[in-house]
Amino acid sequence: MDTETMAEETRAKRPIRWHVGVFLAPAVLVYTAFMILPLFGTLQLSLFRNIEQSQVFVGFGNFRTLFGDPNWSVNFWNALRNNVWFFIIHMLVQNPIGILLAALLSSPKLRFTAFYRTAIFVPTILSFVIVGFAWKLILSPIWGVAPHLMDFVGLKSFFTPWLGKEQYALTALSLVSVWQFVGIPMMLIYAALLSIPDEVIEAAECDGVTGMAQFWKIKLPLILPSIGIISILTFVGNFNAFDLIYTAQGALAGPNYSTDILGTFLYRAFFGFQLQVGDPNMGAAIATIMFLIILAGVCVYLFLVQTRLRRYQF
């Protein structure tokens, strides 16, 4: 009984900590105004439809159209399929190469590491417009350097106008995107590798674990949490991608919609294109689905993957 009253007294004595609220307020306000409100605005917009110049509530009608009407659903599934392929290429090419580069950079024997690091990271800070335009020129069958360089080493017969062929365009663009963003996994992994304490490495060397074995058995398990973060960043980035496809292939994501991903599909629906008048409500419905896909992916990662990752404290 005594202890209870004492606890109450201390609680009463403790002053209200205004500063917590004050310090949180700017972030909360800005985040709410620019992220949370628009998000709910989009969700709300997706439940309405413009009928005779006025917004009418239609429940899940737009979603039924999106999945039930073949004019929409065929394009949607095509965009989703392409988007998944876009993501797979990044996971299979960008991240392993990023890890490899980081491992090479962290090797003490390598000289000019600062130069390599910068050179590989530079494309990441370039604008999509520059990257899209530059690669369009590089791969151009008419003025591009790619056909000439390939001719130089006798591989001209392997050159095709990749960006114009239905079967190659998406893969080509994915690889361009990989080229642009490989610096990010490289930097993150590089930082993780540097944070591995020397004692662990020295202990491994005493036990005779060196070279490749050291990488696989000691370093890789220690950087797994970073690889997890990179995977989820890649996932979110890829399913929100739009700019590169738009600058390289245009809003119709040709040839024959073969490079259409969710971002370009959303753009055409929301803003319209040429004679197609934009439909903000259908656009919002697509944006909502994109949000749900990303949310599901992030949840899978948070609840299934991250909880199982073992962290090592040094």
Partner 1 sequence: MKTKLLTALLLGTSILGTTGMALAEDVTLNIESWRGDDLTIWKDKLIPAFEAKNPGIKVVFAPSAPTEYDAALGAKLAAGSAGDLITCRPFDKSLELFKKGNLADISSLPGMENFSPVAKAAWQTDDGKSSFCVPMASVIHGFIYNKDAFDKLGLKVPTTRDEFFAVLDKIKADGTYIPMAMGTKDLWEAATMGYQNIGPNYWKGEEGRSALIKGEQKLTDPQWVEPYKELAKWKPYLGDGFEAQTYPDSQNLFTLGRAAIYPAGSWEIGLFNTQAQFKMGAFPPPVEKAGDTCYISDHTDIGMGLNAASKHPEEAKKFLSWVASPDFATIYANALPGFFSLNSTPVKMEDPLAQEFVSWRGKCKSTIRSTYQILSRGTPNLENETWVESANVINGTDTPEAAAKKLQDGLDSWYKPAK
Q: Which residues bind partner 1 (CB under 8 A)?
A: 53, 70-72, 136, 139-143, 147, 160-166, 249-250, 252, 254-257, 268, 273-277, 279
Q: To the nearest whole angstrom, how small is the minimum distance from the Cβ of residue 264 to partner 1? A: 12
Residues 121, 191: Cα–Cα separation, whole Å:
14
Q: To the nearest whole angstrom, how small is the minimum distance from the Cβ of residue 252 to partner 1? A: 6
Of 9 and 151, nearer to partner 1 (C-beta) is: 151
48 three-state secondary structure? strand
Q: To the nearest whole angstrom, how small is the minimum distance from the Cβ of residue 43 to partner 1? A: 22
Identify the burial level of 91 via C-beta atoms within 10 angstroms of its C-beta, where 0-12 means exposed, 13-18 middle and 19 or more buried.
middle
Of 215 and 257, nearer to partner 1 (C-beta) is: 257
Q: To the nearest whole angstrom, how small is the minimum distance from the Cβ of residue 112 to partner 1? A: 36
Of 32 and 276, nearer to partner 1 (C-beta) is: 276
**Residue 175's closest CA among 120, 135, 216?**
135
Of 271 and 301, nearer to partner 1 (C-beta) is: 271
Of 122 and 145, nearer to partner 1 (C-beta) is: 145
Give the containing element (helix H, strand E) for 263: helix 262-271
Q: To the nearest whole angstrom, how small is the minimum distance from the Cβ of residue 290 to partner 1? A: 19
Q: To the nearest whole angstrom, how small is the minimum distance from the Cβ of residue 164 to partner 1? A: 3
Tell me the CB-side half-sphere exposure of residue 307, using CA atoms within 13 A: 6
Count of residues making up the chain: 314
CB atoms within 10 A of CB 203: 12
Of 166 and 202, nearer to partner 1 (C-beta) is: 166
Q: What six digits make up the tokens of 212?
A: 């490749």
Residues 283, 313: Cα–Cα separation, whole Å:
46
Q: What is the DSSP letter of 110?
A: -
15 three-state secondary structure? coil
